[in-house]
Amino acid sequence: MNNVIELRSISKEFKEFSFDSIDLQIKQGYTTGLIGANGTGKTTLIKLIMNLLKPDEGEVRLFGLDYATHEKSIKDRIGFVFDSNIFYESLKLKDISRIIAPAYTQWDSDQFQAYVDRFELPLNKPIKHFSKGMQMKASIALALSHHAELIIMDEPTAGLDPTFRRELLDIFQEEMLNENRSIFFSTHTTSDLERFADYIVLIDQGEILFHERMDELQEKYVLVKGSNELLDRDTEAYFVHIERTQNLFQALTTDPAQVQQVFGEYVVLEKASLDDIMFHMKAAHRQQLNK
């Protein structure tokens, strides 16, 4: 199976944040969601993948190609949606599409017009007068109009109303009917991922905590609820992380069979949502970092 994105031993250091030799391989033909709390490195990772930032060390490859020698052909195959307006603000959408079109070998003006109509976007209004949601829609229309093999998006559903968010997910699903296409995107809306992601990458403080199949994730992680009296040094070891309230605890385990055997009917086991998994994994990681 081909990797559309490959990061090898990537290090990048800012004053108060760093990636330290991270590896990541994203497979062709799947939708991968990138999740993590605010400021954990999602945008930085996407910028490294897009060559908008250079790593201090390590190698970034897209479609097996290197930016140093194949920047133009790599960018030609990517549809990129960024979380802020990267276009000159006085320009109109009509002008932007005219500027962008020649940069892509497979620019499809009919496709672009179809998205403009579907998203009800004005072609003759300066981008600076677009609402945040309209800017995002414009960015998505441009990204989806040159038959890109790989669609990379930084929080594409941010600022969108729930009805359009839903429509957008349908559009991404339509795009994925082409089996060679891949989508990689960051989001804080985990319910979007539960609906259509194949893989999830969770990052925290510049570290990749996991990269797992969505369906396996939901089998692997289970939420356990019970009374605090059940917890002691030995039993706590069955959990990835424990959240205590006054009398009760809620914890995440990767070994539900063992938990059931040890605690029997004294605990309740529930399916963990992506939010639950993210919350407990992040808390466990922070505890580890503070040790």
Binding residues (CB under 6 A) for ligand ATP: these are 14-17, 36, 38-44
Q: For helices 132-143 and 109-118, what crossing angle results, to 10°?
A: 150
Give the count of beta carbons closer than 10 Å to the beta carbon of residue 82: 20
Please report how close the Cβ of residue 36 comes to ligand ATP at its closest, in angstroms: 5
- Cβ 157 to ligand ATP, closest distance in Å? 13
Judged by beta carbon, residue 43 or residue 253, the one nearer ligand ATP is 43
Residue 206 or 256 with smaller CB distance to ligand ATP:
206
| Residue 31 or 189 with smaller CB distance to ligand ATP | 189
CB 174, min distance to ligand ATP, A: 27
Minimum separation from the CB atom of position 44 to ligand ATP (A): 3
Are residues 47 and 77 in contact, defined by beta-carbon separation less than 8 angstroms? Answer: no
Residues 6+ apart with CB under 8 A from 283: 241, 243
Q: How far is the CB of 205 from ligand ATP (least distance, A)?
A: 9
Q: Which is nearer to ligand ATP, 187 or 253 (CB)?
A: 187
Reference 234, options 256, 269, 257, 263; nearest CA is 263
Query: Phi and psi dihedrals of 234, rounded to 5?
Result: -75, -50
* Residue (82 or 164) nearer to ligand ATP, CB: 82
Spatial distance between the Cα atoms of 19 and 211, rounded to a whole number of angstroms: 16
